[in-house]
Structure 1
Amino acid sequence: MSSPVSASPSASPALPAPAADKQPPAADRVYQHIKQGVLDRSYEGGTLLTEGELAAAVGVSRTPVREALLRLEVEGLIRLYPKKGALVLPVSAQEIRDVVETRRLVETHAARKAVPAPPQLLARLAELLAQQRDQAAAGDLTGAAVTDRCFHAEIVRHGGNEILSRLYDQLRDRQLRMGVAVMHAHPERVTRNIGEHEEILAALRDGDAEAAVAVVDRHVGRVLQLARGEAR
């Protein structure tokens, strides 16, 4: 009678099948849904959102909706009204002034510090510029606004100051919201933005820090002028 066959000591135990990818927590999904809607203007300033509508849109209960709304209120994107819903806050004139002032301080400093510009920065800016041209040609104004923000963020990151980079990242949502609003209100502006980005890239390629700073200052300051109706 043959003896039972033993498993080889070197044999590896069977591994469990990989778990299916899990969805993010319900509150995170609601948070991203609302935030994206606010940033791309699907939910414009002045829109009243209700818990029931949001729960149905994302396919969750009302509990994670409340959690997401609390997070967004802390970020200043909405204001909660008990038993009524959440009001999407319009971009205020003061907020525009504050963001533009902060951007000018950070971005002009970063433009000066980025000279001499490393090849990888110049290559990345050229790539983003080409992407923005394609988006403008396709009429994708929201995408062009996102790429616009990425163009400036690359310069800030190469300025060599991590604290300023983190500060700049905190402006991201406000910048995108304003950028999308400006692009839709002034669709012709995207062509001028691209031209000014070309000027910034040319100044960095030439190693001309003062020219880069001057273009960045004029370019960022025009956002405030547009918001006031003073420029096109």
Structure 2
Amino acid sequence: MVSAADLVYRHVKEQVLTGELEGGRMVSEGEIAATLTVSRTPVREAFLRLEVEGWLRLFPKRGALVVPVAPREIDEVLDARAVLETHALADVVGRPDDLATLVDALDGAMRVQQQAHDAGDLPAFAEADAEFHRLVADAGRNSLLAGFYRGLRERQQRMTAESVRGRGAAAAGVLAEHRALRDLVAAGDVEGFRRALVTHLDNTHRGGRTR
């Protein structure tokens, strides 16, 4: 049975990851308690857990601040993603059957993302975006690197949601760039993929401006 504190934790974290609770916003225990029809005690417990994980910063008697995504965090996450995804592709290109399986999986992820875009479902769009890139990272045979990449999933999901919120052209651009990345994967073009991936990440999360 899921405890009230776990229910609150999952709800608030999902709101943060999808951008419904935007970075810099203050949220009160009372607000969440009223939304979920629970007492403030489980809300307080969930807030403390989310503070430990770095999603919230608590202020006594005022509530909790949704911690904004810091520029340095963006740079570090994007750098790590570019390195790990390129490394994974370099590994899988030597295995034609696995490469074909990866391309099929990327096609499926793009279909889901297109459907989310058409429906205006931003959380599903961001989730499908994270899945597309996870598929590439998991295609390599280094389980340690794949595990590290999965640890970035929540951060990249949140970053994507914030980057494309209210920007239909940005979301459409993500889809177009995913199609280009998919074609480079299918061609086994590791260097072309690396260059396109760096550009894609810059366009999505840095507005096309590298550091």
User: After TM superposition, is the score higher than 0.5?
Assistant: yes
Q: Is 1:130 matched up with 2:145?
A: no
Residues 84 and 149, structure 2, Cα contact 8 Å, conserved in 1: yes
Match of 1:225 among 199, 206, 211: 206
Give 1:65-214 correspondences, 5 Å limit: 65-115=43-93, 116=95, 118=98, 119-214=100-195
Distance 1:92 1:137, change over 3 A: same
Superposed CA RMSD in Å reads: 1.9
Q: Offset at 1:185?
A: 4.7
Q: Give the secondary structure class of the aligned counterpart of 1:188.
A: helix
Q: Offset at 1:110?
A: 1.7
Q: Offset at 1:62?
A: 2.0
Q: Deviations over 1:196-229 (max 9, x none)?
A: 2112221222222222222222222333431xx7
Counterpart AA for 1:217: V
Q: Offset at 1:175?
A: 0.8
Residues 142 and 183, structure 1, Cα contact 8 Å, conserved in 2: no
Residues 145 and 179, structure 1, Cα contact 8 Å, conserved in 2: yes
Residues 114 and 155, structure 1, Cα contact 8 Å, conserved in 2: no
Distance 1:110 1:217, change over 3 A: farther
Counterpart AA for 2:170: R
* TM-score, reference length from structure 1: 0.81
2:14 is matched with which residue? 36
Distance 1:230 1:218, change over 3 A: closer
Counterpart AA for 2:45: E
Residues 112 and 213, structure 1, Cα contact 8 Å, conserved in 2: no
Q: Offset at 1:80?
A: 0.7
Q: Offset at 1:133?
A: 1.9
Give 1:1-80 correspondences, 5 Å limit: 22=1, 24-80=2-58
Q: Indicate the structure with greater helix content.
A: 2
Q: Give the secondary structure class of the aligned counterpart of 2:206.
A: helix
Counterpart AA for 1:62: R
Instruction: Report how many aligned residue pairs link the two structures.
Output: 207
Residues 27 and 65, structure 1, Cα contact 8 Å, conserved in 2: yes
Q: Deviations over 1:168-206 (max 9, x none)?
A: 111122111110111115320222222221122212222
Distance 1:150 1:194, change over 3 A: same
Residues 164 and 204, structure 2, Cα contact 8 Å, conserved in 1: no
Kindly name which structure, 1 or 2, has the bigger radius of gyration based on alpha carbons.
Answer: 1
Counterpart AA for 1:85: G
Q: Offset at 1:148?
A: 1.0
Distance 1:224 1:129, change over 3 A: closer
Residues 39 and 173, structure 1, Cα contact 8 Å, conserved in 2: yes
Q: Give the secondary structure class of the aligned counterpart of 1:198.
A: helix
% identical equivalent positions? 39
